[in-house]
Amino acid sequence: MNNFNAWVEAINAVLWSSPVLYTLLFTGV
């Protein structure tokens, strides 16, 4: 189940980083 935890952490990282990237893009514009 460690592989499953790795997937969950990866998905959470993407979900949390995406809003940050969008914010940086809009702030840059």
Of 2 and 6, which is predicted with more confidence?
Answer: 6
CA distance 2 to 12: 15
Mean pLDDT of 7-27: 86
Mean pLDDT of 12-29: 84
Quick one: tokens of 13? 């990282």
- pLDDT over threshold 80, residue 1: no
Mean pLDDT of 6-26: 87
pTM (2 d.p.) = 0.50
